[in-house]
């Protein structure tokens, strides 16, 4: 994997370029509002609903941009990644749409629903023991055998630019936002969000939201060093990863802070959205809403864009 440097930091122009590239491939997801929730949170919330994106998550934007930016000479060997989550499904579908192979390394304990989704998009799945080392070794072996290009879920310029297009659409649809808030795991979404929002309007505040039980990004920014995410215990299964140098450098330069939320507030916020808005959001998407609830003075009467990152939930294991 090539080391990523300052030159890989995206600009707003890069995100606009990504949008031109992927626009015809993605859903333009709606902005929803809910008077009941505005009243509870005492703010004007604009939900950017990437739960309605293809594969049910914003990840399809970044994966598509990465796949479409590969030159044919590389693309013909296919793409590869290790992931048990939405990035795996997103990369599998993006590759299928370009007609190139996708090789996905998944831990053998991944939920069967995720295995099925990835297989359903025609990817070749290789299972490995559920350790970081096994994942990386298995992926290395596959790359050696196939020549496939590794598309990292967030340590990748084109992926971050793709994720940033979510905020581009949010700004096109909603004027005069005071704040934008997105969940933070590895930081790809938050990096794209912060880059677009701050370059478009420097007076907009940008926050990341993170479970207190997986607060590596919060601690990393506080202490000026990247902490790994060690054995995090949270229902927000999309936020288990840690920042990489690229996302750390973007987020530390552009974000106004990381807000952490107690674990029990995540399911409450998720349920409030299900009950009042009649839409299905995954636990990771509820974390920014829980953060608004936990910080009323920060959000009072503000116009807040909330990135709803995805809607992939195991309906047999709901957190209530």
Give the binding site for a copy of itself (CB under 8 A). 30, 51-52, 56, 271, 274-275, 277-281, 311, 315-316, 318, 320
**Which among 31, 288, 11, 307 has a CA at the least distance from the CA of 160?**
11
Tell me how far, at minimum, the Cβ of 195 lies from a copy of itself, in Å. Answer: 27
Q: How far is CA 123 from the centre of its chain?
A: 21
* Residue bearing tokens 């047999």: 316
Secondary structure (3-state) at 118: helix
| Nearer CB in complex with a copy of itself: 176/316 | 316
| Nearer CB in complex with a copy of itself: 114/152 | 114
Tell me how far, at minimum, the Cβ of 32 lies from a copy of itself, in Å. Answer: 8
| Nearer CB in complex with a copy of itself: 215/282 | 282
Q: Per-residue b/e over 8-21, b at no fewer than 16 CB within 10 Å? A: bbbebebbebbbeb
Secondary structure (3-state) at 181: strand
Q: What residues form DSSP beta bridges with 149?
A: 79
**Which among 106, 92, 91 has a CA at the least distance from the CA of 138?**
106
* Residue bearing tokens 């998550």: 57
| Nearer CB in complex with a copy of itself: 27/222 | 27
Tell me how far, at minimum, the Cβ of 231 lies from a copy of itself, in Å. Answer: 30
| Nearer CB in complex with a copy of itself: 6/316 | 316
Token pair listed for 117: 């989704």
| Nearer CB in complex with a copy of itself: 217/306 | 306
SS3 of 225-237: the string is CCCCCCCCCCCCC
C-alpha–C-alpha distance, residues 15 and 9, integer Å: 11
């Amino acid at each position: 994997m090539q080391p990523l440097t300052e030159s890989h930091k995206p600009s707003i122009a890069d995100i606009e370029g990504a949008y031109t590239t992927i626009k015809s491939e993605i859903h333009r997801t709606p902005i929803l509002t809910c008077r009941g929730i505005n009243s509870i949170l005492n703010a004007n919330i604009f939900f950017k609903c990437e739960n309605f994106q293809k594969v049910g998550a914003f990840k399809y934007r970044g994966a598509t941009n990465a796949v479409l930016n590969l030159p044919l000479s590389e693309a013909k060997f296919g793409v590869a990644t290790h992931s048990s989550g939405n990035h795996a499904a997103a990369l599998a579908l993006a590759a299928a749409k370009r007609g190139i192979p996708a090789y996905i390394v998944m831990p053998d304990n991944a939920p069967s629903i995720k295995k099925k989704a990835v297989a359903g998009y025609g990817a070749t799945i290789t299972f490995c023991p559920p350790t970081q080392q096994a994942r990386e070794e298995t992926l290395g072996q596959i790359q050696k055998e196939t020549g496939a290009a590794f598309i990292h879920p967030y340590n990748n310029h084109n992926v971050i630019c793709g994720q940033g297009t979510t905020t581009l659409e949010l700004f096109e649809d909603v004027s005069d936002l005071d704040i934008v808030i997105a969940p933070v795991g590895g930081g790809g979404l938050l990096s794209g969000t912060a880059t677009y929002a701050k370059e478009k309007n420097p007076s907009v505040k940008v926050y990341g939201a993170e479970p207190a039980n997986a607060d590596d990004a919060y601690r990393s920014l506080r202490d000026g060093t990247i902490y790994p995410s060690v054995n995090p215990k949270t229902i927000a299964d999309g936020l288990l990863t840690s920042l990489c140098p690229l996302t750390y450098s973007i987020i530390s330069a552009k974000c106004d802070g990381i807000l952490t939320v107690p674990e029990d507030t995540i399911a409450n916020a998720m349920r409030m959205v299900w009950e009042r808005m009649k839409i299905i959001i995954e636990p990771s998407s509820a974390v920014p809403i829980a953060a608004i609830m936990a910080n009323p003075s920060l959000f009072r009467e503000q116009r807040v864009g909330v990135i709803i990152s995805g809607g992939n939930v195991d309906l047999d294991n709901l957190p209530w």
